[in-house]
Amino acid sequence: MKFALHFWGLFCCLYALSKNIYARPDAVSVGALFTFNSTIGRAAKIAISAAVNEINNDSSILPGTNLVVEMQDSNCSGFVGIVQALQFMEKDTVAIIGPQSSVIAHVVSHVANELQVPMLSFGATDPTLTSLQFPFLVRTTRSDHFQMAAVADLVDYYEWKQVTAIYIDDDYGRNGIASLGDELVKRRAKISFKAAVRPGAKKSEMASVLVRVALRESRVVILHANPDSGLTLLSLARNLGMTSSGYVWIATDWLSSFLDSSPRLDIGLLGTMQGFLTLRQHTENTRRKSMLASKWSALVKKDSVDDKFLINSYGFYAYDTVWILAYALDAYFSRGGNISFSNDTKLHEVGAGGLQLKAMTVFDGGRLLLERIQQVNFTGATGPVKFDTDGNLIRPAYDIVNIVGSGLRTVGYWSNYSGLSTLLPETLYMKPAKRVRGDQKLHTVIWPGETTVRPRGWVFPNNGIELKIGVPNRASYRQFVSVDDNTGTVRGFCIDVFVAAANLLQYPVPFKFVPFGDGSQNPSYPDLINNILTNDFDAVVGDIAIVTNRTRVVDFTQPYVESGLVVLTSVKKQSSSGWAFLQPFTIKMWCVTGLFFLVIGTVVWLLEHRINDDFRGPPVKQVITVFWFSFSTLFFAHREDTRSTLGRFVIIIWLFVVLIIQSSYTASLTSILTVQQLISPITGIDSLVASDDPIGFQVGSFAESYLVNELGVSRHRLKSLGTPDEYKQALELGPANGGVTAIVDERPYVEIFLLLHPKFAVVGSEFTKSGWGFVSLFDYFFPPSENNST
């Protein structure tokens, strides 16, 4: 009997599983938290109600369960929103739709994490609200990370390098602009000025911020605000003349949401933003979108709203948010999930006082419901609804909208897949991704001032900050750079080149020269360059050699002086004598040449004496003929005729060799007799390195590190020299008397030294090829290199 009862119970359980008849609750309580009287909130309220009504009337989803959404108005107050969120937690709420505000989301997400209540926000776009820190906050709209990437691509597309950012100084504004800065850096651009506006600021405060913006160089303005503060800023900007020709204004999607919600656009309002660009979250043309848009007017009228307004992109995302939660709850119940809550032991340990903290309980199925939310996959009003591994909706895309005349004009689209394009993003997902610059396209934009010409994006700043140009305060070779100790005036060849180049610019560049060094000895050039990396100098002008290690951390201009390392040493004059005619050839060369004459004479005699009478006769005569014939060919004066074919062939070759010997001898002898001959035991860098004699180098020059690191010269052989007089003294003393055998230095310095002391000379060839250039920071996001030894 017991066995039969057990069998019957097991059968019932299996039957229940197969038929999915786990007991579902009659109703599911869900909270919704947003600001009713806002651009986003007005549309969201109608959209959420419409979605709830459709779900409760659809028997295919949540059968037998009624979805109940309790909406609370945060009234644009962060404090009120936080309190209302806590109240939801006291009512055994399984999920919260919202919050709309990123500020509230930052606070309430900590509570949601603790009580395991999923929050689905259709309005919190702050990019720092990530699933890593806040796993129970599910963003059902686009993160501003993608919007700022779109803005950065726009800036890069029009080749602007600096922008000014105006933003509301809260979590939403600060973190959005921080993300924009990161994206611009990737495209070798930057935010040159951040203008923060206090939340709830008065018009006078906003005007003060705009005045500071107007004094800046950049005319590309990124406005990241909310409709209330943003429209006030635009009105003030127009009064200040900041919306005229030459300016570029790019507003984030707050502006498009406001304009899309307005059934009739006010001409006066549009006049404050003519030629502006704004972004709009892209929503695909789906069946649900068309159905919701077609009955929107009736839904607004049914809600007893006096003011007529249209749906915007946030309204569509709010609509999809309810469907996301409905599908997730349906899957949750289908897999045996139930609604139960338990006390949080941490709250019991806290002295609550008058607060009802114990009323807040942990949703036992919160983590499972969160998993079902992250697994939803359907086509909603905005397009495909699915989350990636980072918790973001797939296929982020934006419309690029140009405000012209009395309406809006879409000039292109941006997607994270293909960048900027004039084609709808959904048509590009089936094609290979192309993010190369040549494939980025937009339609023609009408800019402020009713022009289609791309604005330059900058003007001469009214409060331009002078560039700090570092110059070496040299003690020697001051012909290149010199600093007057009394007046501080900087002169020299390098300074003249820089000033002449600056004068060729089509715009003024204010700068001032800042001497580096005490002038008693040459400064350290690595330390001078390091001052750019530490932002003490904006650039360095002077006799700065372009070498490999320096180019790794800073950027050089094109070389304006050719330079390279040479060997300077003492030389002796070699005077000519009566025996100078023997000097073109060495003794060995003379011997070889004479031997060849005898060999050629003998070979010709062997080939000719049997058939040629000129080479016959007594033995003495034949020997004389051999000598005479061979040496007379040196002057092409031989009279003996050659008759054999081999003999003539040998003579032709020999006469060619004689021509070469004669020409070389003549050239060498002419040089010896006409050019002053200088001799030195050092013939170049190879012989210098091979010796053990001391080597001199200029203080501050990269020659020291080059000799040690590249050529392997021991440091104890190197001797630092500061002035041309020290050069002269060290070379005259020589290695035996405490001097040096040679000096390795850059050619420009050596040429000036030789003008003053012609008895010294450069030996060998130039063994490095570089030049001198002006220096600036390679890029502000490159870290300083640890290797600055040269």
Per domain, the residue ranges of the chain are 27-142+285-347+358-386, 144-284+396-430, 467-562, 580-674, 679-767
Residue 787: its pLDDT value, please?
A: 37
The burial class, CB within 10 Å (0-12 / 13-18 / 19+), for 693 is middle
pLDDT digit string (tens) for 665-715?
787 777 666 655 555 678 888 888 888 899 999 988 889 989 998 899 999
Distance CA 399, CA 281 (A): 6
Residue 357 scores a pLDDT above 80: no
Q: Of all helices (H) and strands (E), which one includes residue 572? A: strand 572-574
Backbone angles phi, psi at 341, to 5 degrees: -130, 155
Tokens describing residue 338: 């139930």
Model confidence pLDDT, tens digit, residues 513-533: 999 988 888 898 989 999 998
Same topology, domains 467-562 and 679-767? Answer is yes
Please give the C-alpha separations between residue 14 and each of 19, 21, 332, in angstroms, as whole numbers: 9, 11, 19
Q: Are residues 541 and 498 in contact, defined by beta-carbon separation less than 8 angstroms?
A: yes
Judged against a pLDDT cut of 90, whether residue 414 lies above it is answered with: yes
The confidence score (pLDDT) of residue 201 equals 93
pLDDT tens digits for 219-273?
999 999 999 999 999 999 999 999 999 999 999 999 999 999 988 888 888 888 9
CA distance 715 to 667: 43
What's the pLDDT band for 765 if we cut at 50, 70, 90?
Answer: confident
Share of the chain above pLDDT 90, in %: 49
Closest CA to 398 of 375, 376, 421: 421
Query: Which of the four CATH numbers 3.90.180.10, 3.40.50.720, 3.40.640.10, 3.40.50.2300 does domain 27-142+285-347+358-386 have?
Result: 3.40.50.2300
Look at residue 6 and tell me whether its pLDDT is greater than 70: no
Going by C-alpha positions, the residue among 553, 557, 531 that lies closest to residue 544 is 557
Q: What is the DSSP string of 468-508?
A: EEEEE--SS-TTT-EE-TTT--EESHHHHHHHHHHHTSSS-
Average pLDDT over residues 195-200: 93
Which positions ≥6 away from 602 have C-beta within 8 Å?
A: 626
pLDDT band at 464 (very low <50, low <70, confident <90, very high): low
At 570-585, the pLDDT tens digits run 877 655 556 666 667 7
Position 783 pLDDT exceeds 80: no
Q: Within 38-190, where are the H helices?
A: 39-56, 78-90, 102-115, 144-157, 171-186
- For the segment 307-316, the average pLDDT, to the nearest whole number, is 90
Q: How far apart are the first and last CA of the chain?
A: 96
The one-letter amino acid at 318:
A
Q: Say if residues 97 and 33 touch (Cβ distance below 8 Å).
A: yes
pLDDT at 769: 82
Name the residue with higher pLDDT: 294 or 464.
294
Question: What's the CA gap between 512 and 53, in Å, rounded?
Answer: 70
- Counting other chains too, the contacts that 689-694 makes at CB distance below 8 Å and 24 or more residues apart are 689/713, 691/741, 692/717, 693/717, 693/735, 693/740, 693/741, 693/742, 694/718, 694/719, 694/735, 694/739, 694/740, 694/741
- Note the pLDDT of residue 92: 79
Residue appearing with tokens 């948010």: 321
Positive or negative, the CA dihedral 735, 739, 744, 749 is negative
The two three-digit tokens of residue 596, written as one number: 């060849």
* Annotation: CATH topology of 144-284+396-430: Rossmann fold (3.40.50)
Average pLDDT value over all residues in the chain: 85
Other Cβ atoms within 10 Å of 135 Cβ, number: 17
Task: Supply the CATH classification number for the domain 679-767.
Answer: 3.40.190
CATH class, 467-562 region: alpha beta
